[in-house]
Structure 1
Amino acid sequence: MIKLEKLAPSELILNDDGSIYHLALKPGQIADTIITVGDPDRVTDVAKHFDKIEVEAHKREFKTITGTYKGKRLTVISTGIGTDNIDIVFNELDALANIDFENRTIKMEHMPLTFIRIGTSGAIQPEISVDSFLISEAAVGFDSLLHFYANTHFLDLPFSEALKKHTNWCPQKSDPYMVTGDKALIAHFNTKDFVTGVTATNVGFYGPQGRILRLGLQDDGLNDKLQSFKFQQQKITNLEMETSGIYGMAKLLGHSAISLNAILANRADGTFSDSPKKTVNLLIEKTLEQLLKL
């Protein structure tokens, strides 16, 4: 049952112009299909393919462009890095679609949104080549975001419990959780151009992903343990920093989401792409063309 009580100014925070606090967007300024990217500069890389630009907004790391691509209305937005930013972006995008800003009440009719992440990632399995594209069928969250929300019945507890046992998981770290992407979107994008896998979402780029520069690690063998882990024919294939939050928040809010990864590094053999921008731009083009078929 939807509560009709007004949301307090401290909870639904609006700017002086009536836009949502962090994103600086107003209702009606987003499409129901939304591409998320990490880097604000990548918003322009996506939007340069649009036929028409309708809305542009930029506040902090959150840059948004809404327009049309071959007649299909799309929004592309930068989230910055990390699931903490995903919490902000997904809650505020959902508010734009499902909250009446004038009356500060939740709308009676829910508007579902479709999210497509175009991101970069590093593989941990040797057979996944640099410059390839990977669909995250599911994500393991090493962040703690979903543990702050109720109704997370969709989490795969047997998977995460097996992972903790396999890795001898340090109890001082956040409790891992496992969440799946939208099956229909995964089936739609699962063409010959993509491989599929389970993505590990980390809370940092260096230590949490096993990189050693000047600091030692609590478990310098963690990446090897992740690489060797298998549960019911599923194995962890790649590392990044947003997908578990995207999948979890989408499920909690009643939306659908898929994460598409440009593999720029292979941690198993120590290689990195010679042409990362070219690889990401190719993924953008493939994603846009596949979106037209939805």
Structure 2
Amino acid sequence: MKIAESDLIINPNGSIYHLNLLPEDIAGHVITVGDPDRVGDVSKYFDRIEYKKGKREFITHTGYIGKKRVTVISTGIGTDNIDIVFNELDALVNIDFATREVKKTLTSLNIIRVGTSGAVQADIPMGTILASSHGLGMDALMNYYISNPSVEERDLLTTVQSHFGHLKNINPYLTAADDSLLNTIGKDLPKGITITAPGFYAPQGRMVRASNSIPNFIGLINSFSTNQYRITNLEMETAGIYALAKVLGHKALSINAILASRVKFEFSKEPQKIVDQAIRLVLERI
């Protein structure tokens, strides 16, 4: 069954619509970063850069670390951009652009997010490199997709919904990290549930001038725990990455550079140093 031209837009040069990439441009290991300027902060550690491409906020470098081919791509901020990036990455490896048909043999990418985040627990210091065991989405992205959560994911989400059930118009979703990536790239790192918010200010409990509809949101977040899990940090992409990766058959892990303490009202004086540590850790473990 051919995919309609209006559903999968291919540029005149044969590249995918937003990312401006050709199918051969993508490596099996993909690092995502939010900030387009951070792409170069990753690729400067490559032994060889094969090419650099870009369009809008989506900047891509593909190259080699030793014999390992790696792609780093910027997503911009938010799960609306994750929707674009992940569907187009999947199309690049799993759809034949000539026939517009899904390939008989599907490719599963290893996708690692290297991003910044704020801790919501007092015992997580700034400078921590944290791996997300789960992504808990407070945005609306997965209202538009059919997913198949595991028993463990469903049970944990039920506990989450009970804790946050009094909040109106929020339908959270939850997806676990890929076990193989969590146990290799994420090995020996602190772990916890990462909340993905649909904004930076009130949706993350910040207040500048506009009044928040959810009082003490950070207190509500950090008071959640089960026998095994607690919510550790807050950002804007992880839940969408985990959920769409699972729907599309890819492996995903989110590595978080903790730059802020939301309970101590502090922000790092050396954010770039912490981000660089996270980048180097991921590249070494890839």
Q: Structure 1-normalised TM-score?
A: 0.94
Q: Find the partner of 1:157 among 154, 159, 178.
A: 154
How far has the Cα of 1:53 moved from its partner?
1.4
8 Å contact kept, 2:245–2:251: yes
1:48-103 CA-partner distances (Å, limit 9, x unpaired): 11121112111111000111112210000000011111110000001000000011
Q: Which residue of 2 aligns with 1:290?
A: 285
- Where in structure 2 are the equivalents of 1:220-239 lying within 5 Å? 220-239=215-234
Q: Identity of counterpart residues, as a percentage? A: 48
Q: Give the secondary-structure state (helix, strand or coil) at the position aligned to 1:234.
A: coil
CA distance in 1, matches of 2:147, 2:205: 32
CA distance in 2, matches of 1:269, 1:168: 27
How far has the Cα of 1:145 moved from its partner?
1.2
Q: Which residue of 2 aligns with 1:72?
A: 68
How far has the Cα of 1:168 moved from its partner?
4.1
- Where in structure 2 are the equivalents of 1:163-242 lying within 5 Å? 163-173=160-170, 175-192=171-188, 194-242=189-237
Q: Which runs of 5+ in 2 are unaligned?
A: none
Q: Give the secondary-structure state (helix, strand or coil) at the position aligned to 1:128.
A: coil
CA distance in 1, matches of 2:30, 2:4: 27
How far has the Cα of 1:285 moved from its partner?
0.8
Q: Find the partner of 1:116 among 112, 117, 142.
A: 112
Structure 1 runs of 4+ aligned residues shifted over 4 Å read none
Q: Which residue of 1 aligns with 2:124?
A: 128
> Partner letter of residue 207 of structure 2?
I
How far has the Cα of 1:151 moved from its partner?
3.3
Q: Give the secondary-structure state (helix, strand or coil) at the position aligned to 1:263.
A: strand
Deviates more, 1:230-239 or 1:85-94: 230-239
CA distance in 2, matches of 1:161, 1:276: 35
CA distance in 2, matches of 1:15, 1:93: 15
1:13-66 CA-partner distances (Å, limit 9, x unpaired): 011111000000011111010000000000000011112111211111100011
Does residue 95 of structure 2 align to residue 99 of structure 1? yes
Q: Give the secondary-structure state (helix, strand or coil) at the position aligned to 1:120.
A: strand
CA distance in 2, matches of 1:226, 1:278: 28
Does residue 141 of structure 2 align to residue 145 of structure 1? yes
- Where in structure 2 are the equivalents of 1:245-260 lying within 5 Å? 245-260=240-255
Q: Which residue of 2 aligns with 1:266?
A: 261
Q: Find the partner of 1:8 among 4, 10, 29.
A: 4
Q: Which runs of 5+ in 1 are unaligned?
A: none
8 Å contact kept, 2:186–2:255: no
Deviates more, 1:222-231 or 1:129-138: 222-231
CA distance in 1, matches of 2:277, 2:21: 29
